[in-house]
Structure formats: structure tokens, C-alpha cells
């Protein structure tokens, strides 16, 4: 299979997965044609199998959905499982419509390099749009590595993920802990915004922390601590003792349901029982982490889930069982920006 054929196969597969279970028991060729009609502006498959509808392939997505529901087995509300379990603040219809659009590639520009990035993209003829002073969106798959003069000037970070920085509100000299640091995106956002912060990063996977080291090195960040902590196997006191922090970022493992526009194969594959398992894991991790939060200081709880049990449910647990006061929580509605959807909450440890 040549490169062109591989690209076509990948496109067809991704479009098919975006439908979830909405095409019912119809035959596979028709399902593929429906997917192509929804997700493409031209398609031989859709033209062949949906000839009466094909002239509307350039219509707005809402109109294409209405046509398909009228003339085919397609049922829009069956695309995404468990709509009744979405967090408050999510528009179910707009959210599901967003699943049919490939999310953009977002760059967070380092402030002192922002002008250079914009000028370089313009010189290279790259299609992009400004989303904020230090954020640009590009078509997914843009080959940034081939553009000279950009290394170290930006971080790849989804728009909603960048918005979690509004919840940090740190001060120079404070000690912060990114407890489930992963690849370090939130840590880099914290340090770029508040360079005087003293940071500890941790994760259960040593390989991930090695990747984080490389990313920090590329960003010129050297002053931070690192620990491997598996919250499912040991008490944090065994690693941290009685250490306490001025702020904790807790971007917990979750269903990832807010990112399924990037991984549409998960839409139909996801099982409802996983929500309960993730919720239990999140409560377990959060319960350990907050023991290391100073009174009057913030826990920033973050997921890339759209399910209430992983979001508001964990916030209620922290309020009811761990002496935390909710200052603000918000669903970050990525579907308005061709981005992921996320959840963030800022909770303050009460002074007892």
C-alpha cells in the first residue's frame, strides 16, 4: 500500500469511527458513505452511495445531520454513549457535532518568541489562526518540524489545556507540586507563567518522566525536583514525608472522553463501567495528594473528561471528606474552538 492509499485508509477509518453507534445495523458500505458525507467536502464513496444527498455535502454540519436522519438509518443522538452522564454546562448537541470535526493543532507561544513564531509561519505560508495573544491554531498534521527557526519558541498544547492556567494564580517563591505530571504540559505552563515557582513533578512512570526531562531541557528549565510516585501502591508519605505545598496541580487519569475527537475509535468502544472505575481511582489519588496541601492554598483538579462522575463528583467528594472549599469550577467547552473539552476546579484547603 502506497502513501496515498494509507492516507485514504486512515481518513476512512477515522471518519467511520466518528459515527459511534449512530448508523445502527445498516450495511458497512452505507455506514462509510454516511461518515464521509458528514466529515468530508468531497467523497467518491458518498457520491456513489448517497447520490440524492451528495449535492449537500458542502452544507453546514447541522443541515447534513438533518438530511441523514430523514433519509438514512443515521441517528444523531446515538453517536456518543451516555449523554445523560455529561457534566453540567455541556451542550450535548454541540458537543456531539464537534466529534465530527478533526480538532486543530494548538501552539502555546512563549511570550518573548511570539512575534518570531507568527512571522515565521507567515513566511512559510502556513495556514493558521490567532486564538489569543500567545496561542495559534493550525490544521492537525501541520509539519512544524520542517519549518526552521521555531525550535524552543512554542509548546504544543491544546487550547483547553492552556486555559487551565487561569486556575493556577501562583506567586514567586511558592512551592508547587504537579502530582500526575505526565509529559509536563501543565508544569511548563505554570513555570512560563510564574517563573519563580519551586516545582516538584511526579508520575508513576519513569519513562514518562524521562520524556519530561527532555522537554524541560529543550525549554531551558533546569531548576525542578522529580519523583516517581505510584498512588495505587504506596502512601505518599513514604516518598514525601510531611512535606506540604503552596499549590498542587492534579491532572488525574480519566476516561479521556473530552479528547475523543482526536481518538474517535473510543466513542463506540468505551464501556459505561469504566466511568465508575475512573471515579474511584480519582478519589483515591486526590485523597492522598491533598494531605500535602497547606491550609489556605489551592488544589487545581483537572480532567480531560466530560462525565460528571469524574468531574463534579470528585469535587463533591473533596468537599465532603477532605476539608476543601470550592472556589471555582468550569467545563472548558473545547467544541467552540475545535479543541478538546476539559474540566478544571480550584479548591482551597480550609484552615481548621
Q: Which of 52, 87, 23, 1 is nearest to 307 (CA)?
A: 87
Q: How many domains does the chain have?
A: 3
Beta-carbon contacts of residue 160 (< 8 Å; ≥ 6 apart): 258, 304, 332, 334, 337, 339, 340, 341, 342
**Residue 100 falls within a domain, yes or no?**
no
**pTM score of the predicted model:** 0.95
Quote the domain boundaries for residue 45.
3-79
Pairing label, strands 105-109, 298-303 = unpaired
C-alpha Rg value of the chain to the nearest Å: 22
The per-residue pLDDT for 1 is 67
Last residue of a domain, one of 156, 171, 192: 156
How are strands ordered across the β-sheet holding 247-251?
225-228, 198-203, 175-178, 247-251, 298-303, 342-349, 324-332
Last residue of a domain, one of 121, 156, 191: 156
Residue 251 assigned ligand-binding role: yes
Same domain for 151 and 190, yes or no, is no
Same domain for 230 and 325, yes or no, is yes
Same domain for 183 and 141, yes or no, is no
- What single-letter DSSP state applies at residue 203? E
pLDDT digits (tens, 9 = 90+) for 171-227: 999 999 999 999 999 999 999 999 999 999 999 999 999 999 999 998 889 899 999
Positions marked catalytic? 304
**Residue 92 falls within a domain, yes or no?**
no
The per-residue pLDDT for 328 is 98
Distance CA 61, CA 122 (A): 30
Residue 246 assigned ligand-binding role: no
The per-residue pLDDT for 109 is 96
Neighbour tally for 122: CB within 10 Å: 10
What stretches in the chain show pLDDT beneath 70? 1
Alpha helices in the chain (DSSP H): 3-17, 28-39, 44-49, 61-71, 92-98, 114-123, 159-163, 185-193, 206-218, 237-240, 265-269, 273-289, 312-321
Distance CA 202, CA 184 (A): 10
**Residue 323 falls within a domain, yes or no?**
yes
H or E segment to which residue 107 belongs: strand 105-109
Q: Which of 34, 19, 12 is nearest to 76 (CA)?
A: 19
Give the CATH number for residue 124.
Answer: 3.30.70
> Is the CB of residue 245 less than 8 Å from the CB of residue 202?
no
Residue 320 assigned ligand-binding role: no
Same domain for 182 and 311, yes or no, is yes
Same domain for 206 and 238, yes or no, is yes
Amino acid at each position: 500500500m502506497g502513501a496515498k492509499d494509507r492516507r485514504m485508509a486512515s481518513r476512512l477509518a477515522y471518519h467511520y469511527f466518528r459515527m459511534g453507534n449512530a448508523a445502527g445495523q445498516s450495511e458497512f458500505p452505507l455506514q462509510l458513505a454516511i461518515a464521509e458525507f458528514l466529515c468530508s467536502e468531497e467523497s467518491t464513496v458518498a457520491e456513489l452511495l448517497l447520490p440524492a444527498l451528495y449535492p449537500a455535502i458542502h452544507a453546514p454540519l447541522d443541515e447534513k445531520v438533518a438530511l441523514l436522519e430523514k433519509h438514512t438509518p443515521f441517528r444523531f443522538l446515538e453517536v456518543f454513549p451516555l449523554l445523560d452522564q455529561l457534566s453540567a454546562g455541556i451542550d450535548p448537541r454541540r458537543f456531539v457535532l464537534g466529534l465530527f470535526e478533526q480538532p486543530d493543532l494548538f501552539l502555546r507561544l512563549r511570550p518573548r518568541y511570539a512575534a518570531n513564531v507568527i512571522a515565521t509561519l507567515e513566511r512559510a505560508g502556513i495556514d493558521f489562526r490567532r486564538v489569543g495573544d500567545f496561542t495559534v491554531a493550525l490544521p492537525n498534521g501541520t509539519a512544524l518540524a520542517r519549518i526552521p527557526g521555531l525550535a524552543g519558541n512554542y509548546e504544543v498544547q491544546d487550547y483547553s489545556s492552556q486555559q487551565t492556567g487561569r486556575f493556577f494564580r501562583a506567586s514567586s517563591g511558592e512551592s508547587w507540586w504537579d502530582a500526575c505530571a505526565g509529559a509536563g504540559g501543565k508544569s511548563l505552563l505554570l513555570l512560563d507563567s510564574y517563573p519563580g515557582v519551586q516545582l516538584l513533578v511526579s508520575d508513576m512512570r519513569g519513562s514518562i518522566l524521562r520524556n519530561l526531562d527532555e522537554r524541560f531541557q529543550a525549554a531551558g528549565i533546569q531548576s525542578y525536583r522529580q519523583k516517581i510516585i505510584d498512588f495505587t501502591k504506596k502512601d505518599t508519605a513514604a516518598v514525601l514525608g510531611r512535606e506540604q505545598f503552596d499549590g498542587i496541580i492534579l491532572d488525574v487519569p480519566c476516561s479521556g472522553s473530552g479528547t475523543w475527537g482526536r481518538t474517535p475509535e473510543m466513542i463506540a468502544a468505551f464501556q459505561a463501567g469504566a466511568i465508575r472505575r475512573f471515579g474511584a481511582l480519582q478519589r483515591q489519588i486526590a485523597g492522598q495528594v491533598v494531605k500535602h496541601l497547606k491550609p489556605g492554598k489551592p488544589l487545581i483538579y483537572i480532567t480531560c473528561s466530560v462525565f460528571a462522575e469524574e468531574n463534579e463528583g470528585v469535587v463533591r467528594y473533596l468537599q465532603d471528606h477532605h476539608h476543601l472549599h470550592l472556589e471555582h469550577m468550569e467545563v472548558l467547552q473545547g467544541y467552540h474552538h475545535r479543541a478538546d473539552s476539559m474540566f478544571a476546579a480550584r479548591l482551597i484547603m480550609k484552615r481548621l
